[in-house]
Amino acid sequence: MMGDRTVVADVADELARRVASGEYVPGGLMPSVRQVAEEFDLNRATAQLILGRLESYGFVDAHRGKGFVIRDVRAEGGVDVYGRLFRLSMPEPEIAAEMFGNIVEEERGIALEALLAYTGGERPLDPAVLKVEIDELESLARGADPDAHRMLSIELGLLRRLLTALGLSVQRAVLNSIGELVLDVPEAVEAYFAVSPDLHVLVWRALVAVWESDAGPSQAQLALFEDLFGMYHRKVVARFEELVGTAESGAAGEVAATA
């Protein structure tokens, strides 16, 4: 039996997982208060709290005299709902991998736009400010056991600075939401370091060197950067698939190891 302090959250997450996996069909009714109480050996007041928690998650709508109706959370849910769906999808590798692929594609587009726009235009940020964060990134990368969560947080912070400098406030908001999604799932964080943490540092150092130089990069260099950036994100997705154990993880792992 679950501990008293976590029973509401734990049972709510289990019921939300059933919604996320399709076990409970959109438009149908959730189990009643009585049914939840009986299945999980709870009193009815606690079961009512649990169903109320699901409503606050955005997974169900309460209808007086009818009960809690299951929402089509994949079609109707916002970022918060998507994040919870992603976290709860970990026991369903195929679903988790599909969702992560979508997250990475969105993040790749925002990050690439920010890096190319900042490189190709005026660069108002003081490079010294960026270097402080890159120095911390390097210090972590050289440690015996690099803190991937902290490193990814720093890199997201660097991108956030660039988006702010460019006035891309909507993209920054989306990036912030993506960061919350990814940082909440250990497998996703680890996947972002499918290549050595040292290489992350080298890329940021190279970008700052370009930003400090009078002559910007050539078109050929920009094209190469885009190709490498795309390759990196493919490795990230492959590593995630390997970590969650999709059917294709063996092949993905080979690609990540040999690329």
Domains defined along the chain, listed by start: 7-76 (1.10.10.10), 79-258 (1.20.120)
Q: How confident is the model at residue 248 (pLDDT cuts 50, 70, 90)?
A: low
256: pLDDT strictly greater than 60: no
- Residue-level pLDDT at 249: 43
Segment 136-151 shows an average pLDDT of 95
Instruction: Classify residue 253 by burial, with Cβ atoms within 10 Å: 0-12, 13-18, 19+.
Output: middle
- pTM for the complete prediction? 0.81
1: pLDDT strictly greater than 80: no
Segment 93-104 shows an average pLDDT of 93
Q: Which helix (H) or strand (E) holds 243?
A: helix 219-244
> For 115-125, what is each residue's pLDDT tens digit?
999 988 888 89
- Residue-level pLDDT at 153: 98
184: pLDDT strictly greater than 60: yes
Instruction: Classify residue 188 by burial, with Cβ atoms within 10 Å: 0-12, 13-18, 19+.
Output: buried
Report long-range pairs for 131-137 (Cβ below 8 Å, ≥24 apart): 131/208, 133/157, 133/158, 134/158, 134/201, 134/204, 134/205, 134/208, 137/200, 137/201, 137/204
Count CB neighbours of 8 within 10 A.
Answer: 17
Count CB neighbours of 90 within 10 A.
Answer: 16
- Give Cβ neighbours of residue 60 (< 8 Å, ≥ 6 apart): 19, 30, 51, 54, 68, 69, 70, 71
Q: Which helix (H) or strand (E) holds 60?
A: strand 60-63
Report the range of poorest mean pLDDT among 154-168, 183-197, 219-233: 219-233
